[in-house]
Structure 1
Amino acid sequence: MDFSCTEAQTDLSGLARKILGDRATNERLREVERAPDRFDRALWTQLARAEVLSAALPSSVGGGGFGLLEQCSVLIEIGRAVAPVPYLASITTAAAALAQFGTPEQQRRWAVPAANGELVLTAALTEENNPDPHRPACRAQRLDGEWVLTGTKTTVPAGPVADLVLVPASTPEGPRVFLVEAAQLALQRQRIVDSDSEAFFDLDGVRLGDDQVLGPDSAVLDWLINRATVGGCAHQVGVLARALELTSEYARERVQFGRPIGSFQAVAQRLADAFIDVEAVRLTLWQAAWRVEEGLPCATEVATAKFWAAEAGHRVAHTAVHVHGGVGIDLDHPLHRYFVAAKRNEFFLGGAAAQLGRLGDALVD
């Protein structure tokens, strides 16, 4: 059995790493973080011109014909650079869903421009006081030949810069996903842990036509959640791997009591534990991603990957800060970005406790 990455994954991740390494510098990130939204549009355009955005999308939307595994390879590099680009929301989640379930007109209008970096898409998968994204509290009802939405969505990634939002809502026939233009939504910015802004959307009174429904049935929502969750785990792999590298380098260079602190047993043990955690996140990610891509039953594998991304992510992020000491809480030091990025990923679509609950339900069933 061959568990190595494909040639496409290696080439695509290498290209992404080069572009991100050149553009996502500490100085550039500081500049972007002073803006209302943590989005480097120039970097986004450069990734689009290099076909990093389109390569891992189906050919039906002008992509290179690759899929989720290649997207995960790109997301790992974006995580390593903590790059301020909405690849997970726009490409892995929304554009890929349109390529999979959209009509030719929906793909032409939204997915193709997103693959070219001309539009930003996102999906509104979370709601206040609703821990289960598979059962949206938002509702859609038929009225005078249109769909009328009610409810709210919270912490929508890339919401303030998105042109189109995929909005799941409950209907009498089950959950459906609707395509809502950002201009139709009342937006409130929500500042989050890594200085980015997400969106709170009030859906009450939004009216949609039948051409704004994505896919034929409720399976679209499960597909979206699985892809978004796996993509978040991939981003976390990159964040944690680079945070551990920075911490190991610091432990070799920082001298205390006449010795590098990495030579102290307690520090070495914490770094060893962090290495095991990072590899656990990586291995469970690839298992879940492969099963999702192959269309195999994957609920427990996705929950397992997200558990490790959350639980191990918490441990590694705190280890990185503790080993760095006072430098670790300096907002001007690059490590701080990895800490807050790991915390954001930890709770994206449910933290460790939520994933254990899902795994427990699966064992009971």
Structure 2
Amino acid sequence: MDFTPTQEQSAARGLAARIFGDLSTHERLTAVGTGSDAELWKALCEAGLVAAVQDTGLLGLVLLLEEQGRTTAQVPFAASCVYGLLAVSSHGSPEQRERLLPGIGDGTAVVAGAVSGARVRESAPGRLSGAVPVVPWLRDATHVLVADEGRALWLVRTADARCDRVELTAPWSAGRLTLDATPAERLGGPLPRSAAGTLPGPRSDGPTRGSGGESCGDAALTHSAGGAGAYDDVLASARIAFAGLQAGVCAGAVARAVAHTTTREQFGRPLAAKQGVQLRAADAHMDTEAIRVTAYEAAWRRDEGLDFAGHALTAAWWASEAGHRVVHAGQHLHGGTGADLDHPVHRHFLWGRQLESYLGCGSEVLQELGELIVRGEVDG
């Protein structure tokens, strides 16, 4: 495997770092509050960084999300790219790709995701009913990618649904999505039917398994890298993307802790001179590197068309378990300052804790990984 970024990926990452560094300052984040930064989102889209994900792949997106995580920038970058750009380009019909991708790429369309834990069903042909309690970035979204009880993926326009504001401990501009026979379009287009009116089976040797072991059946009609079904691919890709975001959040927390402990003195010596501080910071650095390298490997495998289900769960586990340790260490190394809710490191703490449980906490993804290993679907 080779995680060396391509020239295009490196250029995109460098540009993203400059934009996030210039516009995602502590003062601007404080002013934005729980909303998103419209000016920053516009700058990212005008620079072509959202549309570039089609060419740089999931690994390229992970690199960009690392830069976002370092500054905890308030924009729906991860959600719109993984649930919108990558999902539609991989699993949408030709008509859907032609119609939706330009708007997602230039930022006029923003896609949020409700693919995990949703209680949604197709109540009538092309209409969904149910509710999703918390959808991150729903307040900014024009569309939501929804998975129904059968693991089929649907695009719902927020203008057709009821979207209520939800307050979270971390400012993710979230909301509650309520569907009541709401019109929706199936990702990939309507399913073809046989002469007998029955749904055809998936294009594989058998039913695709969901991340929790459930049979996806006809929900896996479209395939992508590694032969994964649409639902499995989108959920795994989302976990990898948000693991990349967590790597950046943790890197930012460690960098702030290092800066604080090297400048703050106690009894005439910098805090960083103390062995206990050095060990705590070193552990946090190694945990951050583990999150990063597992996210890189999973993203690379997806881009290369290799099996990546187990690697996505591994990245998600590290992002949850190690991410928890790192953001706590970052806050702890700031001493009493870390308890200040207005201090920049507190935002890293909140983001890290929010990402820790998003799309499954550590124990849940570890159980899923164990089930895949037991069934022989991944190497132990």
**How many Å separate the matches in 1 of 2:172 and 2:182?**
26
Contact 2:236–2:312 at 8 Å: present in 1 too? yes
In 1, distance between residues paired with 2:317 and 2:288? Answer: 13
Q: Distance in 1 between matches of 2:151 and 2:11?
A: 38
The answer to whether the 8 A contact 1:125-1:156 is kept is: no
The residue type equivalent to 2:99 in the other structure is R
1: CA distance between counterparts of 2:161 and 2:99? 19
Q: C-alpha root-mean-square deviation of aligned residues, in Å?
A: 1.6
Query: For structure 2, which runs of at least 5 residues remain unmatched after alignment?
Result: 192-218, 221-228, 376-380
**One-letter identity of the residue aligned with 1:254:** R
Q: Residue type of the partner of 1:19? A: I
What's the secondary structure of 2:104's corresponding residue?
A: helix
Q: Structure 1 residue 275: deviation in Å?
A: 1.1
Distance 1:203 1:339 in 2: 33
For 1:73, the aligned partner's letter is L
Q: Report if the CA contact (8 A) 1:38-1:195 is conserved.
A: yes
Residue of structure 1 in register with 2:116 after alignment: 126
Query: Which letter does structure 2 place at the counterpart of 1:138?
Result: V
Aligned residue pair count: 338
**5+ long unaligned stretches in structure 1:** 58-64, 128-135
- Verify: 1:193 aligned to 2:169, yes or no: yes
In the aligned structure 2, how far is the partner of 1:44 from the partner of 1:266? 41
In the other structure, the counterpart of 1:343 is 353
CA distance in 2, matches of 1:326, 1:262: 16
Q: 1:66 aligns with which of 56, 81, 99?
A: 56
> Within the alignment, does 1:43 sit opposite 2:40 as a pair?
yes
In 1, distance between residues paired with 2:52 and 2:241?
A: 16
2:364 paired residue among 327, 330, 354: 354
The alpha-carbon deviation at position 315 of structure 1 amounts to 0.6
How far off its partner does 1:300 sit?
1.4
Judge which range, 287-296 or 334-343, deviates more. 287-296
2:2 and 2:141 map into 1 onto residues whose CA distance is 39
- Are the structure 2 counterparts of residues 175 and 126 from structure 1 closer, same or farther at C-alpha, using a change threshold of 3 Å? closer
Shift of 1:109: 3.1
Q: So what's the TM-score if we normalise by structure 2?
A: 0.85
Question: What is the SS of the residue equivalent to 2:13?
Answer: helix
Determine if contact 1:126/1:156 at 8 Å carries over to the other structure.
Answer: no
* Corresponding residue number in structure 2 for 1:130: none
Displacement, 1:110?
Answer: 2.3
User: Secondary structure of the equivalent of 1:197?
Assistant: coil
1:139 aligns with 2:112: no
Distance in 2 between residues matched to 1:113 and 1:123, nearest whole Å: 17
Distance in 2 between the 1:92 and 1:199 partners? Answer: 19
Report the 3-state secondary structure (helix = DSSP H, G, I; strand = E; otherwise coil) of the residue aligned with 1:206. Answer: strand
Partner of 2:186: 213
SS across alignment from 1:98? helix
1:39 alignment partner, SS class:
coil
Amino acid at match of 1:139: R
Query: How much has 1:86 moved relative to structure 2?
Result: 0.4
Pairing partner for 2:147 from 159, 165, 168? 168
CA contact (8 A) 1:138 1:150 kept: yes
Query: Partner residue of 2:53?
Result: 56
1:150 aligns with 2:129: yes
Per-residue CA distance 1:98-118 (angstroms, 9 max, x = gap): 112222332233221110111
TM-score by length of 1: 0.89
Aligned partner of 1:101: which letter? H
Partner of 2:344: 334
Question: SS of the counterpart of 1:205?
Answer: strand
Which amino acid is 1:54 matched to?
A
Give the Cα–Cα distance (whole angstroms) in 1 for the partners of residues 366 and 279 of structure 2. 27
> What is the Cα deviation at residue 283 of structure 1?
1.0
**Residue from 91, 99, 104 that aligns with 1:101:** 91
Residue 2 of structure 1: how far off its partner (Å): 4.3
1:24 maps to 2:27: no
Q: Deviations over 1:225-278 (max 9, x none)?
A: 011111000001111011101101111111112211111111111111111111
Question: 8 Å contact 2:136–2:172 — kept in the other structure?
Answer: no
Give CA-to-partner distance per residue, 1:134-191, whole Å, 9 cap, x none: xx542114x4xx3332221132121111111111113xxx421111110111112111
The answer to whether the aligner puts 1:112 opposite 2:91 as a matched pair is no
Matched, 1:319 2:329: yes
What is the aligned partner in structure 2 of residue 177 from structure 1?
Answer: 153
Is the CA contact (8 Å cut-off) linking 1:164 and 1:181 kept in structure 2?
A: yes
The structural deviation recorded for 1:334 is 0.9
Q: Is the 8 A contact 1:193 1:340 kept in 2?
A: yes
CA–CA distance in structure 2, aligned partners of residues 275 and 122 of structure 1: 31
Residue aligned with 1:357, SS: helix
Q: Aligned AA for 1:214?
A: L
State the alpha-carbon separation in 2 of the partners of residues 363 and 227 from structure 1: 19
- 3-state SS of paired residue (2:35): coil
Q: Which residue of 2 aligns with 1:255?
A: 265
Give the superposition deviation at 1:351: 1.1
Q: Residue 321 of structure 1 aligns to which amino acid in structure 2? A: Q
Paired position in structure 1 for 2:241: 231
Tell me, yes or no, if the aligned pair for 2:83 and 2:113 is still in contact at 8 Å.
yes
* Cα displacement (A) at 1:327: 0.8
